Amino acid sequence: MILNSYVPDESAISLKVVSRLVREGKVCCKIIVHNATVSSIEAKAKIGNLSGINGLKDLREACAEKNLKLEYAGNPSEDDVNYVTREFARSIQASIITCNPIMAKMSEALGIRTVFESTSPSIYLDEVFTEGVMSLHLKEKLPPRVKRGHPGRWFFEKLSETPLSREELESILAQLMEQTYSSLGEDAFIEVDKMSATIIQLKDFRIVVTRPPFSDGLEITITRPMLKRSLEDYHLPSQVLARLKEQAEGILVAGPPGMGKSTFAQALAEHYNSLGKVVKTIESPRDLDLPPDITQYSKRAAKEGELHDVLLLSRPDYTIFDEMRGEDDFKIFIDLRFAGIGMVGVLHGTNPMDAIRRIAHKVDVGVLASIVDTLIFMDKGLASQIYTLEMTVKVPAGLRREDLSRPTVLVKNLFTGKVEYELYVFGERTFFVPVKASWRGRDDKQKVIFSQILSRHLDSFDLDLDGGTLKILIPQDEFKTYLKKCQKRVLKTARRSNIEIEAAPI
């Protein structure tokens, strides 16, 4: 026990640690609270955080019980309250009492006598996150709960019937911060540290803390990936694996929240890494569990334009963007694809077309298929639907006049090879049209009719009937001849027969 004066910081007051030390007789000298700390406590009380005020009251009562002198000194300052507290303690050669591990380490490094008191753990994450637990939800005035189950099928389960108090939550947060600071830069990092919100990655745990007035009460949400999967665990068909390896360079991984999008993107990143590709990620926060040879960039920590410049100059083979939300995110995705970098973008979407719409409205339809060539829609942890995007020139579905031929994006089901949607611009609007099959068993006869039309002017072509669509594949050097001499007759014949035409150069 050091027989001198003590200066408690805000953490020691708010968590009532200094009050406990007084009552236990471990602190029995004059206690001085700096007015910068009082000012900080008052500011937080104005937005609903009363833990500091309650801590000051408890400290005053504890000092009265033990007949200890409690003083207030110094002037409020606009400087950082921890800095002011440290400098004050050093100037009067007092000891600091703190529950903040960074404050303790900095004070000791400056030669200030320090009493560091950690709070007793009330929650052990490894004990809470047993099999089937997806997340832990803590909020003041509510009992602690966990979400148990798996994506698509889960339920809330109470850990206790007793609601949590603000002081209990502050104590739990102090424990988490101590664990975070003890391994900062190795197994932990802080993505966001603001008055109203804090986001922490602690080993496998993502911790999100919100405070009033941003939220209506102090809330701590902790999640941990339930499982780590490789691409082989998804048992994808061979044609899907072949496309991911040889063709797909602009990939969207979409689906509703909690359906396994990030888990699949993580598996995809490791798959490309195993193929010898240079893989990097953009995350906010960084919570993908990846090997060290995959560099993970924080979108939140980057300055404006920094991510774009770094990735453009370093030229990775693939960049995983988890998750794309705002205009700037889509701009980075589009610009890097134009630069030839393979991109995998993770985004929310209630159905596959919602995901395509979010990016289609930001570019010219004529270049959409160059930016996004593959869409993977996740549902309940599975890649339930996979589509490819291809560009062609045709009369779009829903139109009939041959002079309305225009660039059209075909959205094909990769499993069936069928065109399910078409995207095209008419006037100033972009249309997303579902394609319905209308062919009714006239394959050979219709092939003969169209072959006779084409063979008059073309030396080589190939015909393929796909549902209600006749695909005409023409060598690149003869495609202009088709447009000038064949297209009008072909479209007129197709309109009479109620057949869709899709002509593409090869």
Sequence spans of domains, the chain: 6-116, 125-223, 231-434, 443-505
pLDDT for residue 280 is more than 90: yes
More confident site: 304 or 439: 304
Give residue 355's pLDDT band: very low, low, confident or very high (50, 70, 90).
Answer: confident
Q: What is the pLDDT of residue 456?
A: 82
Q: What is the pLDDT of residue 445?
A: 66
pTM > 0.85: yes or no? no
Give residue 468's pLDDT band: very low, low, confident or very high (50, 70, 90).
Answer: low
Poorest-pLDDT segment among 157-166, 204-213, 254-263, 281-290: 281-290
Q: Which of 5-19, 119-133, 461-475 has the highest mean pLDDT?
A: 5-19
**Integer angstrom CA distances of residue 74 from 36, 71, 85, 295, 415:** 7, 10, 10, 47, 72
Which whole number is the average pLDDT over 44-65?
90
Which whole number is the average pLDDT over 464-487?
80
Q: What is the pLDDT of residues 206-216, one digit of tens each?
A: 899 998 888 88
HSE-up (13 A, CA, CB side) for residue 241: 12
User: What span, in angstroms and rounded, lies between the C-alpha atoms of 18 and 276?
Assistant: 56
Which whole number is the average pLDDT over 273-294?
89
**Integer angstrom CA distances of residue 67 from 9, 24, 190, 263:** 21, 13, 41, 59
Q: What is the pLDDT of residue 152?
A: 63
Any alpha helices (H) in 119-220, and if so which ranges?
A: 125-128, 166-182
Q: Which residue has the tokens 């798996």?
A: 150
Go through the chain and tell me how many residues it has: 506
pLDDT for residue 99 is more than 50: yes
More confident site: 280 or 153: 280
Strands (E), 107-144: 114-116, 133-139
Please, what sign has the CA dihedral across residues 123, 128, 134, 139?
Answer: negative
Give residue 226's pLDDT band: very low, low, confident or very high (50, 70, 90).
Answer: low
Is the bond preceding residue 256 a cis peptide, omega within 30 degrees?
no
Give residue 288's pLDDT band: very low, low, confident or very high (50, 70, 90).
Answer: confident
Give residue 438's pLDDT band: very low, low, confident or very high (50, 70, 90).
Answer: very low
Q: What is the pLDDT of residue 161?
A: 92
pLDDT for residue 440 is more than 50: no
Q: Is the domain covering 231-434 a CATH 3.90.1580.10 domain?
A: no
Which whole number is the average pLDDT over 308-323?
92
In terms of CATH architecture, what is 6-116? 3-Layer(aba) Sandwich (3.40)
HSE-up (13 A, CA, CB side) for residue 329: 20
Q: Which CATH code, of 2.60.40, 3.30.450, 3.40.50, 3.30.420, is assigned to 125-223?
A: 3.30.450
pLDDT for residue 464 is more than 90: no
Q: What is the pLDDT of residue 34?
A: 96
Q: What is the pLDDT of residue 273?
A: 95
Q: Which long-range contacts (CB under 8 A, 24 or more apart) does 413-421 make?
A: 413/385, 413/386, 413/387, 414/239, 414/240, 414/243, 414/374, 414/386, 414/387, 414/388, 415/237, 415/239, 415/386, 417/466, 418/466, 418/467, 419/466, 419/467, 419/469, 419/502, 420/387, 421/353
User: What span, in angstroms and rounded, lies between the C-alpha atoms of 149 and 147?
Assistant: 7
User: What span, in angstroms and rounded, lies between the C-alpha atoms of 129 and 127?
Assistant: 6
Q: Which residue has the tokens 């009050």?
A: 19
User: What span, in angstroms and rounded, lies between the C-alpha atoms of 30 and 69?
Assistant: 5
- CATH topology match: 6-116 vs 231-434: yes
CATH classification code of 443-505: 3.30.300.20
Closest C-alpha among 406, 418, 409, 394 to residue 490: 394
- Cβ pair 159, 146 in contact under 8 A: yes
pLDDT for residue 1 is more than 80: no
Please, what sign has the CA dihedral across residues 103, 109, 111, 113?
Answer: positive
The neighbouring-strand residues paired with 465 are 470
- Cβ pair 248, 318 in contact under 8 A: no
